[in-house]
Chain A
Amino acid sequence: MAIAKAERLMNLALCLLGTRRPLTKRELRESIEAYLEAGSDDSFNRMFERDKDDLRELGLVIETVENLEGETGYLARRDSNRLPAITLDAEEAAALGLAAKVWQQARLAGAASGALQKLRAAGLPEDVDPYGAHGALEPRIPVHEAAFEPLMLACRDRRPVVFDYRKANAAQPEQRHVEPWALECWRGHWYLAGWDRDRGAERVFRLSRITGKVRSRAGRFTVPVPDVVTVRETVAGWAGETADRSARIRLRSDAGFPLRAKATSVRELGNGWDELEIPYGHGLDAWLVEFGPDVVVLEPEELRADVVDRLRAVAKG
């Protein structure tokens, strides 16, 4: 029966951590059962390279040293792999315990519990769990977008990517070459900020609009990554939250609570209607139409015309 990969990785890790001198590939092959059973040199070599990458992925620093005979040796030095001393009290431990549970994305959830387990091995207190007491708070970070993981890795490793992106109102996706800087989750959706090579400008992309695969490109970033990358401001602008003007509307007295919540002034007209002054930003016309006959736009004329236009389209069906 084939030996489980976890067993093979574990043995390789323990060998590399346990040795004081670099071990050659030959020595490792003779030490680890799974490698003895690997068959041909080729398949062993492939397996060994993959395993080293996997161990590096989980944080092991593996050094490559050439010995006098020109043979390559490998070892994981203790001082480069040891967790620096860290002391956390019970409250801090509980807070981290809550944080480690919020990811709903397999890779990050695995990594977060891995981090907690390493801290646990280093003596992180276990008993007190103030959140467990009533368990009221259950923050979750949703990740439903397939593009998330490849983009996360590309941001981490600063690798350029290419993907097909369909803008909100475009029928066809368009290929975009991007130097990915940062990912941000806002209101439950993920966004990517980066340098758009085709546009020669900074752009924000919504991950759910990426169609097909995200592919890495060879080479480096051509533009320096800014110290502060802002995603939320751009997205808030899309959402019409950056209003620069104001509008006057009539609203039926018992309707439109969210419009009232945003209003800068409300005046009762007495005939079952109120008059409101509200911020006028991108997207207000579509929002007002949702209230149907309970809203009448007074001014500006441009907004009034947009709303009438939209209502006519609906009335026609």
Chain B
Amino acid sequence: MAGKPVRPVNAIDQTRRMLSLVTYLRERPGARIEDVARAFGITEDELVSDLDVLPMCGTSFRGGDLLDIDTDGERIWWHNPAALGADAAEPLRLAADEATALLVAARAVATLPGLRESDRQALLRATAKVETAAGEAAGASSRLSVTFESEGGVFADVDRAIAERRRLWIRYYSPARDEVTEREIDPIRLVSVGHTYVEAWCRRSEARRTFRLDRVAEIRILDEPSAPPEVELRDLSEGLVQPAAEDPEVVVEVGPGGRWVAEYYPHDSADELPDGGLRITLRTPDPASLKRLALRLGRDGRIVEPRELAESARSAAREALAAYDGAGAAG
């Protein structure tokens, strides 16, 4: 399934890696397993599985000159580097997909407003060099693009607070309650998944919270040191909102015009209805936060469960209408 953190056991990726590995190892007799794995961005186990395959590979006829590469578990030794002619071990040019993947990502990261200027410059220089080296293979990279959204000033302050390990004071807008609250937070990390968020320890709720930067109304770096408790970083690849099994269930029925709800809200199920609509079941720790959704849907949908939520949306709508009844005649 797309979106999983990525390290597929895939013959193409492994072949690609092994081709680079032979070039790399040729220059570095006795390279340490740990260092090579880090340089290649793979686990030591993955590296060892490559080292199991390489001795079965060679340039020519069977049995003649297989690569005599082995390891004592700590270092890697290649006993016959001549088995590959000097020029059979040169670094290979970038494939179109490789150039695209690296260049599109580099251009996207360069749009992050909070990126330190020196880092952005380094990235732009590197991007230009890779474009040149990739030559024609770089062409297709213009067919993909990614923009990260984030509030520049807020981003820079959060980034600095994390680097200097300092606490932050923020005024934060919560759409669920339509209110702005003040809180002190100890920032842990910045995450960009479409929008940019700071994951932090919230001193007000004494819990881990994720704050969307474009909802930060005001921010100040405090002198107090940031001291978030040791928390295990979550894998966010499945999305920032990861409802817990014990969260209350909400059932929403939408018509064709409300199908977008299934695109925006992580849900447990979305069953087709005969009129082209959907019956969507989702879980949230705070069903009251969905009152806005109920109001927004209008005739395109309604909350089925919980009933208190449905009723609170109805009474909010009635109260709102009252203002128009009065002013309507005059206005």
In Å, the complex CA distance between A312 and B295 comes to 10
In Å, the complex CA distance between A84 and B99 comes to 13
Say yes or no: A59-B94 contact (C-beta < 8 A), given A99-B105, A296-B327, A314-B297.
yes
> Are B90 and A83 closer than 8 Å at their CB atoms?
yes
Q: Which A residues are CB-close (under 8 A) to B39?
A: 120, 126
Q: Which B residues are CB-close (under 8 A) to A19?
A: 59
* Nearest opposing residue in chain A for B102, CB measure: A115
- A binding-site residues for B, Cβ under 8 Å: 3-7, 9-11, 13-15, 17-19, 30-33, 36, 54-55, 57-61, 78, 80-89, 91-123, 126, 130-131, 133-146, 148-149, 152, 155-156, 166, 168-172, 181-189, 208-209, 231-232, 254-258, 261, 286-287, 289-296, 298-299, 304, 308-317
Say yes or no: A290-B20 contact (C-beta < 8 A), given A99-B106, A145-B2, A184-B146.
no
Partner pick for A110 among B13, B88, B321, CB 8 A cutoff: B13
Q: Closest Cβ of chain A: how far from B326's Cβ, in Å?
A: 9
Q: Which of B72-80, B118-126, B202-210 contacts A (4 or more CB under 8 A)?
A: B118-126
> Are B12 and A121 closer than 8 Å at their CB atoms?
no
Chain B interface, DSSP helix/strand/loop, else mixed: helix
Q: Closest Cβ of chain A: how far from B276's Cβ, in Å?
A: 2
> Are A312 and B99 closer than 8 Å at their CB atoms?
no
In Å, the complex CA distance between A49 and B219 comes to 60
Q: Which B residues are CB-close (under 8 A) to A139?
A: 108-109, 112, 148, 191-192
In Å, the complex CA distance between A304 and B325 comes to 12
In Å, the complex CA distance between A313 and B142 comes to 46
Q: Which B residues are CB-close (under 8 A) to A84?
A: 93, 132-133, 135
Partner pick for B20 among A101, A121, A255, CB 8 A cutoff: A121
In Å, the complex CA distance between A15 and B180 comes to 66
> Are B317 and A292 closer than 8 Å at their CB atoms?
yes
> Are A93 and B126 closer than 8 Å at their CB atoms?
yes
Q: Which A residues are CB-close (under 8 A) to B298?
A: 286, 289, 309-311, 313-314
> Are A99 and B6 closer than 8 Å at their CB atoms?
no
Can you report 22 residue pairs joining A to B where beta carbons are below 8 Å apart? A6-B15, A18-B85, A57-B12, A59-B98, A86-B132, A100-B41, A103-B105, A108-B100, A110-B16, A112-B105, A122-B23, A149-B2, A156-B140, A187-B194, A231-B145, A257-B180, A257-B217, A290-B296, A304-B331, A310-B298, A310-B299, A312-B321
Q: Closest Cβ of chain A: how far from B304's Cβ, in Å?
A: 10
> Are A293 and B323 closer than 8 Å at their CB atoms?
yes
Q: Which A residues are CB-close (under 8 A) to B297?
A: 314
> Are A314 and B98 closer than 8 Å at their CB atoms?
no
Q: Which A residues are CB-close (under 8 A) to B317?
A: 289, 292, 311-312, 314-315
Q: Which A residues are CB-close (under 8 A) to B118?
A: 91
Q: Which A residues are CB-close (under 8 A) to B256?
A: 169-171
Q: Which A residues are CB-close (under 8 A) to B3?
A: 104-105, 142-144
The 9 closest A-B pairs by CB, nearest first: A188-B194, A171-B276, A59-B95, A18-B59, A109-B6, A122-B91, A92-B126, A292-B316, A313-B299
In Å, the complex CA distance between A52 and B192 comes to 38
Query: How many residues in B have their beta carbons less than 8 Å from beta carbons of A?
Result: 135
Q: Which B residues are CB-close (under 8 A) to A184?
A: 144-147
> Are B15 and A292 closer than 8 Å at their CB atoms?
no
Given contacts A95-B109, A116-B41, A289-B320, 17 further A-B contacts (CB under 8 A): A3-B56, A19-B59, A60-B92, A94-B119, A95-B119, A106-B2, A110-B10, A114-B17, A118-B94, A121-B92, A136-B187, A138-B190, A184-B147, A185-B147, A289-B298, A311-B324, A314-B298
Q: Which A residues are CB-close (under 8 A) to B154?
A: none
Q: Closest Cβ of chain B: how far from A159's Cβ, in Å?
A: 12
> Are A10 and B15 closer than 8 Å at their CB atoms?
yes
Q: Which A residues are CB-close (under 8 A) to B149?
A: 186-187
Q: Which B residues are CB-close (under 8 A) to A87?
A: 129
Is B288 on the interface with A (CB-CB < 8 A)?
no
Q: Closest Cβ of chain A: how far from B142's Cβ, in Å?
A: 7
**Contact string against A for B residues 176-189, beta-carbon threshold 8 Å, 1 for contact and 0 otherwise:** 00111000000101
> Are B88 and A117 closer than 8 Å at their CB atoms?
no
**Contact string against A for B residues 1-32, beta-carbon threshold 8 Å, 1 for contact and 0 otherwise:** 01111111011111111111101100000000
Partner pick for A185 among B93, B145, B259, B328, CB 8 A cutoff: B145
Is B275 on the interface with A (CB-CB < 8 A)?
yes
**Contact string against A for B residues 140-162, beta-carbon threshold 8 Å, 1 for contact and 0 otherwise:** 10111111110000000011001
Q: Which A residues are CB-close (under 8 A) to B16?
A: 58-59, 110, 114, 117-118
Partner pick for A13 among B15, B104, B180, B310, CB 8 A cutoff: B15
Q: Which B residues are CB-close (under 8 A) to A13?
A: 15, 19
Q: Which B residues are CB-close (under 8 A) to A299?
A: 331
In Å, the complex CA distance between A296 and B316 comes to 13
Say yes or no: A9-B193 contact (C-beta < 8 A), given A103-B105, A126-B38.
no
Most chain A beta-carbon contacts within 10 A, residue among B11, B112, B159, B191: B11
> Are A106 and B4 closer than 8 Å at their CB atoms?
yes
> Are B122 and A59 closer than 8 Å at their CB atoms?
no
> Are A31 and B6 closer than 8 Å at their CB atoms?
no
Q: Which B residues are CB-close (under 8 A) to A186?
A: 147, 149
> Are A9 and B11 closer than 8 Å at their CB atoms?
yes
Q: Which B residues are CB-close (under 8 A) to A57?
A: 12, 95, 97
Partner pick for B99 among A86, A101, A115, A169, CB 8 A cutoff: A115
Say yes or no: A105-B194 contact (C-beta < 8 A), given A59-B98, A315-B318.
no
